[in-house]
Amino acid sequence: MQKKRRIKLLDEIRGFCILLMVIYHALYDAVYILEIESVKDIFFKLTFFQPFVAAIFVILSGISSRLSSNNIKRGIKLLIISILLTLATRIIIPDQTIYFGIIHMLSISILVFALARPLIDKIPPAAGAAVSILLFFLTYGLQYGYIGIENILKISISKKLFDYLYLYPFGLPHQGFSSADYFPLIPWLFIFLAGAYLGVYVKKGKGVPKWAYKERVSFFSFLGRHSLIVYLLHQPALYGLFWAWQKLSSLF
């Protein structure tokens, strides 16, 4: 049986996205924890690009779901990790609790994909990807109280939907809801499914150039292969560094 070749380009793109995420969170901590005014401008400029980087990362996760041999196990593992992440942030840094972040969203998306795969596979990949991307854009503003596309077609939704306490995983956060990292299933499930449909072509090797199987930037490749560990450890590491910085600064 021929061994499946790993597409190193996917690791490198994922690793690059993770690096950008670490930089973004470092700037966030510098602005809101250390209150360093000089980096505020850089942080707010990078905020514009954050959804695009996140979308690429989620699409790659969708593609990976086509390459995984056991999405149920993968999804449950991430779900447990996400619950532990919520508990840890709630205890250690309650003002920065993550109630439904990107790990929560990915875990549920993977499980939805695994359980609904017989139905998902009935839709042609090109059509499925196109519809999923369209639904992503149409529902991106749900948490802000509307569906549609800004300046093109915008339909307000009932404010009563935001009165329920436990609809925040679906993009309907109640008043006063706060999550340090927030990626609701709507719209992000759709961009994950777009990746899953694109993964059909990737799995078959269609459109994947030969050079995509070769490692070119080992650092990005390493980060991509260990993206979950980097995600879980980078914030505690950043908090530790900033805490040490504050303590040292107070001595001088």
Residue 252 pLDDT grade (very low, low, confident, very high; cuts 50, 70, 90): low
d(CA 23, CA 44): 13
Lowest mean pLDDT of 170-184, 206-220, 237-251, name the range.
237-251
Lowest mean pLDDT of 22-36, 67-81, 167-181, name the range.
22-36
* Better-predicted residue by pLDDT, 152 or 102: 102
Q: What percent of the chain has pLDDT over 70?
A: 96
Question: What's the confidence (pLDDT) of residue 83?
Answer: 96
Over residues 25-34, the mean pLDDT reads: 80
Over residues 77-88, the mean pLDDT reads: 95
Only one residue has tokens 């990626």, namely 183
Over residues 136-146, the mean pLDDT reads: 94
Residue 187 pLDDT grade (very low, low, confident, very high; cuts 50, 70, 90): very high
Q: Is the pLDDT reported for residue 28 higher than 70? A: yes
Question: What's the confidence (pLDDT) of residue 251?
Answer: 67
Over residues 2-27, the mean pLDDT reads: 86
Question: What's the confidence (pLDDT) of residue 35?
Answer: 76
* Integer CA distances (angstroms), 88 to 1, 107, 114, 216, 222, in order: 43, 18, 28, 36, 26
Question: What's the confidence (pLDDT) of residue 198?
Answer: 96
Q: Please calculate the CA angle 194-132-12 and round it to the nearest 5 degrees.
A: 20
* Better-predicted residue by pLDDT, 246 or 226: 226
